[in-house]
Structure 1
């Protein structure tokens, strides 16, 4: 677990912190308008990419964790997930075409749009879920870090003006493709020859269905925010919001590898030693919650300094948005811990999905009625409110369950 934890922190650095090394450069070279267009395209395809991911990062990771010592079963899981992703990529293409032809703000930069499409396709097929499940993250993470480090280096070498915006997306897509190819080649040492079947692919889709709903609804009010905001505001306003969102995600990354590395182990222990799983969950709780609260407090205090240092004086409007979004760090940590780390491994996805579903409905209403009026500020408050709904519902569900890791205080009170 320690090796996987260090590996996942490396992936977090490559995914969130390394890009922050380039953001001061890009913010100044591209300017607010081009940076906003970049954020909108990245947001759009990070959201649409969930069609290929489909929630396999949870459902297939859990299956790989349970059968991590059975090579034949791992081969079957890997083949079924690959076949399912091929089917889902066709749907991904159709929806991308619909967005391109019917949403003018995204059709205005065709090269940018389709480079984003290619990168999202490659990222959708990545095998991090497999290595996380079998708890062999070290080399896979190293490959991912090296590819993303090369992407950052290329930005500094070749991007010189707003006209080089397509290079930014192009280099990012190339990094995703290279990481996929190398890690796919390495997966052969943990599996036999793959065979694809329609029945196996459909079975994988069935297994991941509940987590697909969770991922889809979650991404709609998180990752999709910049793309949705672009429908109502100029690209420069999207840049202000996206900057605040990026910094918030960096704060969240301080502890998210902990939840990722605990997930396969908890999935295993729930099926083999429930009491040990409860102890591990409590340990995770006492580590993650204080970290998340401390991260939010430090971020709130340093917000003006951080925004000016990283993005420059042109982006001063990001400060207030960043301070609003910081509330999400402890809120999301609670919902992720109680939802993904306990409800999902214990087969109670339906309760988690109900919380996500209600939050998604609230988000849709807010995007329709509040965001057009209050713009980026309305989007920020909407996200915090939606995350709060989920956190309250999943905590209540866990404490009410008969296998709660903290006992059953709510059940005792109700009986009295």
Structure 2
């Protein structure tokens, strides 16, 4: 259990850095590059990260679980790695072809050099090997190396980026450091599993088997990231400025739970196979604990909402305070939902139920928010997201109770 706490701590630090670095990049790049060049680089960077999510395909969950269950069998471990990497090669080929077609069809104004560095940025994040070390529960060096590298990259940006003409250089720096982290990861993998061999059939099988984990992660990204776009369509750009700060506070609060759950995930995957009934009680304890932690966090943010918004935005954004104080009610339920997914459904292989429910409620939340916006405007969108999350929690709890009942009868 000490090992799990260590992994959780490391992943927690990495998650903090993943929130901190992009925030620190904003003043460095925006002030040096100007609106146009910064927007161009940001568009390429965002597109590359979204494409990398497709290639990652939820293997941080399904791949880590396979590794955790292989029982130290090096041959099986090597086969799992080769199949998943082959799946990523297949997915990458499809993404590259699709992106090139989109660029030509839309006649997008993308500079050739920027496109090259954008693709390298995409490859770097798409082929990260952290999932393997996560499953092996040996993440100390990979996480520490990545954190150090990201801070060094930020320092290099600060030193060398000073004018709009440095836009391509900025993208090159970000891509190079991300790629270096991935290359070092490949070397560490080689020390563990040996050489790589392409397995076309195995790759296709991993794509098929990991589909529900992919749906789970992609649907979760929709629920976390679709809000500002919906607000812009339904309520206009001014409303986005009042909605986005509140959403970022909520997202950061909930996002910090991820490392705790992901750090425990391989451990629970093994333990639930050994003693399902006993360890489902442990999982239930985690779910309840995170729900009450969410209640406390929501209460703190509710009380500090006025101060936080005024500190971030200044005068003229008073409605954002109201939005934040409605939004905080989503925190305990979203934390509970993440906990049920990663401590009960996924370790027990109930990927299909989880991915179906998450996809359904992702769509339901957007529709409900859009409908309520006609009556309550911006507040209606937030009401829709909160109500949808609560109903989603109730649905997951009902299925989880049924799963526990079935597993207990089976024992």
TM-score range, shorter chain: 0.7 to 0.9
> 2:12 maps to what in 1?
9
TM-score, normalised to structure 2's length?
A: 0.82
Instruction: Output aligned runs, 1:30-109, within 5 Å.
Output: 44-97=47-100, 100=103, 107=108
Distance 1:69 1:203, change over 3 A: same
Q: Which shifted more, 219-228 or 13-22?
A: 219-228
Aligned-pair CA distance for 1:325 = 4.0
Instruction: Output aligned runs, 1:352-371, within 5 Å.
Output: 352-363=354-365, 365=367
Is residue 42–residue 116 contact of structure 1 (8 Å, CA) maintained in 2? yes
- Number of matched residues? 405
Aligned-pair CA distance for 1:115 = 4.9
| 1:279-314: CA deviation from partner (whole Å, max 9, x where unpaired) | 431342343222222222222333343345456669
Q: Which shifted more, 119-128 or 298-307?
A: 298-307
Is residue 64–residue 131 contact of structure 2 (8 Å, CA) maintained in 1? yes
Aligned-pair CA distance for 1:138 = 0.9
> 2:185 maps to what in 1?
183
Which secondary structure does the structure 1 equivalent of 2:347 belong to? coil
Is residue 370–residue 378 contact of structure 1 (8 Å, CA) maintained in 2? yes
Do structure 1's residue 152 and structure 2's residue 154 form an aligned pair? yes
Distance 1:31 1:42, change over 3 A: same
Distance 1:242 1:346, change over 3 A: same
> 1:273 maps to what in 2?
275
Distance 1:362 1:15, change over 3 A: same
Distance 1:98 1:312, change over 3 A: farther
Distance 1:73 1:143, change over 3 A: same
Q: Which shifted more, 154-163 or 258-267?
A: 154-163
Instruction: Output aligned runs, 1:390-401, within 5 Å.
Output: 390-401=392-403
Q: Which shifted more, 276-285 or 133-142?
A: 276-285
- RMSD of aligned Cα (Å): 3.9
Distance 1:218 1:330, change over 3 A: same
Distance 1:342 1:118, change over 3 A: same
Aligned-pair CA distance for 1:65 = 0.7
5+ residue gaps, structure 1: 409-416
- CA distance in 1 between counterparts of 2:131 and 2:284 reads 24
> 1:211 maps to what in 2?
213
5+ residue gaps, structure 2: none
TM-score, normalised to structure 1's length?
A: 0.81
> 1:412 maps to what in 2?
none
Aligned-pair CA distance for 1:347 = 2.0
Distance 1:109 1:198, change over 3 A: closer
Is residue 300–residue 323 contact of structure 1 (8 Å, CA) maintained in 2? yes
Distance 1:402 1:6, change over 3 A: closer
| 1:180-232: CA deviation from partner (whole Å, max 9, x where unpaired) | 11122112222122222111111211221211222233223323555676778
Is residue 125–residue 180 contact of structure 1 (8 Å, CA) maintained in 2? yes
Which secondary structure does the structure 2 equivalent of 1:401 belong to? helix
- CA distance in 2 between counterparts of 1:338 and 1:8 reads 19
- CA distance in 2 between counterparts of 1:56 and 1:128 reads 10
Instruction: Output aligned runs, 1:233-252, within 5 Å.
Output: 241-252=243-254
Is residue 128–residue 140 contact of structure 1 (8 Å, CA) maintained in 2? yes
Greater Cα radius of gyration, structure 1 or 2: 2
